[in-house]
Amino acid sequence: MQRTPPPSPPLNPASAVLKSPMQLSLHGSDPNLSAPPPRPLAEASSLPNITTRPPKWKNEDVTKADILDLFAALKEDQDQKFTVILSSINEVRSALEVLPQKYETAQEKIVFLEQDKIQSLENKVETLERICSVEIRSVPLQASKETKDSLKQIVRKAAEALGIPLDCTSNIKDVYRINTNSQAKPIIADFTTVLTRDRFLASFKAFNKEHQSERFNTGSLGIGGPVTPVYFGENLTQKDRKLYSLARTFAKSSGYAFCWISYGRVFLRKAEGSMRIRVACERDLDGLV
């Protein structure tokens, strides 16, 4: 025999909605009849570890003045950054404006240094070409037409007077006169070695030092007529010749006792035993007293 449960009273929807959670009871169909009844909402909100949202700001909390202050601070910060950037741009612009002028100045210096270097090299090459040559000055022109052989004989007689053994064939490479404004044009004797040239110049200085009363002259060469002094010196370039002339003039006017030239280099000395001074250019004379 099977029993049927009694019918339940009809459920009123309105009354079901109005029931509070505390009024709900467990029904026979609930799978867990021994579970405790649900807690009220007030008690549930007090439970720990339950996240609650902060209350929303009311519209009247942020005023128009606050927004204006925020924009003003932002604008001030942007203005400061813009000022720094603008200053950097102006510095770069100033540097770029000066750059072309610096470039032109550098170009001018480079051109000047190149020209000076070229002139220095040209003078050095010309000096090396003349390093074996001797210039003989104040030898009068011969009545008859001069030839290289006649000029070699003059050089040979000069070597004999100075006590230097000389073979015109093997020791003299070339001999000629150069065009100058003087009536007795200088004779250039180009020897085959620097040693022969140095011996000629050293013997000439020694001869004049030993014969103070009668220095080397045209009579020493067997040339007739009025006796005139004859000088031996290095075959200088035009630049060195001009510098040597200026140095000698300066030495006389400034009280320097000695002025001489050696291998194309000009030197001054104030007095016997004092330090020698190298004169490389005309500007060096301006700094001397």
Cα 231 to Cα 209: distance, rounded to the nearest angstrom = 13
CA distances from 102 to 23, 90, 93, 111, 255 (A): 98, 18, 14, 14, 45
Per-residue pLDDT at 57: 53
Burial of 44 (0-12, 13-18, 19+ CB in 10 A): exposed
Per-residue pLDDT at 15: 47
What averages of pLDDT result for each successive group of 10 residues across the chain (289 residues)? Answer: 56 46 49 55 52 58 82 89 90 86 90 91 89 93 83 94 91 91 88 94 94 92 90 92 93 93 92 92 85
Contact predicate 200/134, CB 8 Å: yes
Report if pTM > 0.85: no
Cα 126 to Cα 238: distance, rounded to the nearest angstrom = 10
Per-residue pLDDT at 54: 61
